Structure 1
């Protein structure tokens, strides 16, 4: 008797049912894809709201077409919707399980009735056992779609993506748009839009005020308008033929308007008065209106907060203040003779590029070459705003600073020049006097160009009836006097001032970096030439003139390195974009140069100055001994003899300090000699009644200890006391310098005026509160490099390291946090 059919078990029937469902789905899905595509396309168009924008007939026709297309797609898929049979399910199971020879379908086979052959039945049973063994290997793969073959371009994905975009566009109107897609309605009648007027106000550029658009003027009753603004009025949605009848009225006057396309007009006009702005139609009905309130542009104000001063180089120093409600465009100086103010001459002082509302600064004007130099003048400051309005300060009468010439011929030439300016009608007498100077003995002792120039000046003076020719003669006499007085120094000084003016003007107009760098380089060269020429003339000064010079305040001593350091710092500030700070730095540099007096050596220096100079030399010698002791200590640690020659390839500084023959014994003798020199200096200071700083005595004791250590051939024990000796010597020099400053403050200063101690006040950090153009050696030390330059270097290094991906993640994360914060 044969065993029961294993296909009747519950598990097999469940797998067979799943296989039939998979086959049915695989057949139905490709057949239903066209109908699904039609439905998705319809829903997508509905979500975008396109059906609502179509006319009624187009909406109805589209709806019918989509219904027909959807029905046609369903009708075409009807055959594929029939359920799969058992045979198809068994075939799917055999294919997914890898069973060959239709084993699952063979399980239903039977032997013919009446076959009793034992051998045949045995073979049949073994065959069925093998078939039943395949049941353990049954597998069913998920349903597979045939769409990739039918849709190789994946248009189905594009359709789904567009539908997602439509859902986003619909937001909260999904239900409303879907309902509207199935219910076509006739479009409601659209009423003609009402006339709409809009107003824009554009203030003048110099006011730096933003334009007033629709957000500020729509619905506003009153609009504040800066003077000089331009108004733009537009009226839209006018009925056909009504554009010609619309009028734009500002007060009682009509503004011109032009017609635009589509029933619109436009009027553009300046606002120069307050009043009501009305838009009227042909029947004088008001379509729109605003109240324009004009904001008057007040003229600028200017003032001189203090009396003009004179620098050591006879330049006019002007402290001025100017203000305006919108911005100061220019500040100028006006000069005129007291009895002829209508002949005022205008000299521009500054033109701020940013046009700030208030300007408070000072300017230097070299007016020694001006025709009115040395004569009484009336001067005042004039401020100009962006609209061209001007404001003037109170007039001040003073004698315009003139250059003090020492050469007798130069003084005579300037005297005739001044006479020609004050009394032009006496030009013949002036010409005769200049001709006499050309024939004088002192002119004959000078280069031939001097008497020749005087002859030419005399001839031109006779023909100087017109102001232009007279001004040319005045300029010629000035150049000639400068050449007689100073030679090349005058040329160097004029070049320096011209470059300072060019650099200031370039900064005010925000010139390119290349031009700024070029002017900075030329300014540095001009400063070097000026200082060299000034030093050359100081060396050529006769001894009797040098001895009569007034003592110079040590706080006003400026080295060339200090000027160069300030110039480099200003250049660094410009490179970092801090042009305002650079302008302030250059102003300080110019003030220092204007007040510069070359420190010329006298035949008999004062005892204080000689003692300070000797102490400075001792500091240098003690520093040299300290360096040599440190080098001997280093050589001893390396196992070399102090007398050993330096090895080839050692540094240059090492070769100087550890020179052949250098030994602790020799250094001890030099240390003892330096100690005795310090004792002699203190003895001389005591005999001359000078206060001996306590730090000098401590320095002498440290030198003694260093001498003993070097005598015992222990340079390592000599280094600390030598360092203390250097510090004490420097402190003693500082104390001596303060004593000299106090003595100068109690005595007469340059020009016979006493120096006021109140100007030497210091803040809690020890820094000078006033800067007269000199170098202040005390207080907080200034850094060698600009702070902005160092900050930029650190930032560039952080960016460079953060871009190196081979660094550890922890380090890269640290750099990132630093860059995010700073």
Structure 2
């Protein structure tokens, strides 16, 4: 009996534990079902609120009158009340319904079975068949109760929205959120701002000035309700805008403000001149606006027009403006108009400078040698436009437009007749007569069959020409024949070289990728090596000489170095320097074949200038090492290591003179600098005596540089590094002046050789295009060169011992910031 009683007690405990878990699961199921029902009933109200917020974020209430805002607020309240009225159907779920959810999908219904009780428990004896069956039934229900789980909330509000209005409201909310931006709260709160309904009191007023976008200036928000008149400035063309309720905007504008179209509660004005703006009402203020004028852009030629050997020319110019340039162009205007021309004068776009806004100096190479106006006197008109559409211009001339150099007599004759026909279509009879004269003796003038047939075709086409289009085709045919006859004497190596150079230039202008630029640079280098080798062979076959003149003074290694510098400049984003290097390379290539004999005077002069440039670099390095030596001495003579009074005199030095060697100096450093300075002076003396063109100012400058080097040598011998650096800097300055004189002499010689160019033209600013002084070696200073000049100036000031120690320390930090 004791064992049976224990089993009964354990069974009773298990039943109580299972029913406790059942009660918990039942409560959680009741709560989940209640929340699902609540969410379904609240979904319409939430959709109304979301839709109202999306409507508000569109800015509807900002432009709506107060009455409209009131109507909108009341409509929102009515819709919310109608939606919330559904909450009257909300009720708590019964336990039997919760157990039915737990038993859903289970045929044995364990939850309902465990909650049930035996109907005749009092009448059934313990241990009877009924009790045993009931106990077995409870055990099976207890085991299954442990596997039951309360459901999670799953409101599914859209299941009760057959038209998808809730989803549409959410989509509209997401879309209008981007429209509202940071004004979400302001636009939503505007629906409930009804204060402007009574006499406009408390209405918001905004007043601001929006400058034109091209000026790069930010909008200016004006401060209201300030005593007195406020003064401010804005560019001409700025938009002055005011926004507020109709009853709150009382604006008075002077003549300098031109009314502009606006929408809603805004008023717009365009600033055309100095103006005065007054605002009255709830928000007030008086403003005096100064209109900053937008001056027209200017363009001016810098230096001389450089004419290249193949008929192209390089133009350097400077563009200036208040804010930035939009585009620039160049056009030729013929000074002689003999008749009706078949072609318009040439014109082209100019490259804008690489500086921000397209301002500063730039260089453009143009090839108009194919134009019929080439070889004729013209004026060049340079024009530039800014973002406001204003124009600035400069006129250069008169000059003779560079023409393609033709050497073959027949090619020259055909080019001349083509020019006569293209520039005076009414007089084609002389052209016809000249072509017939060339065809009169084909054995003499056109011995080649292809040239003879081409000339016959031109004659026939000219006789049958009926309009300007036919005459234009004849002129083009004559020019094509002239080029074919002239280029027939050009070697394949020269053709490949010019094609490679043109391909690289076009790729640079088009902003081709780095891989394409590298490939074209390699093609140019290969073509250049073939061309130089061919020129060397020509010279050897011509006279058996070992040199080919000026063209051979430039080696393939020099071109390789220029190519590497050009690629490095493009990698650094300095396209201006890369374009300048390519222009310089083109100039060298176009003039390579001009030297037919031994080394010319110009060739040897250029070699002397390169030697002088190398000596200047050696002198600069020597000066830097002298500065390092002085710095080490200063560090050894810092506080705590100062010599005792009279110690310098004991060592046989003059007061204030620096020692040539100090503790920690490397043995022989001062002597080595002194010896190198002497060797450098000997090289300069040999260059001055043996190089051509060393007369006048160039020779005087080198002589003064020798004297400065001698002074530096003496100062190094005495240990006075400060004086040595001053003398070394003086030597650098004198050598630089001599280099400039040599470059100027070379350029004057080039100008005399070019010929045919009239130099009397002046632009509208009164400056002649060829009157500007040379700058250094005649090449436009790049950013790296300007930085080098600044660094040289800092070093020169650092070498002055008379400057204060604080200034010297500051200069030292500028040179070596780390």
TM-score range, shorter chain: 0.3 to 0.5
Instruction: Report the TM-score, using the length of structure 1 for normalisation.
Output: 0.44
Higher RCO, Cα 8 Å, sep 6+: 2
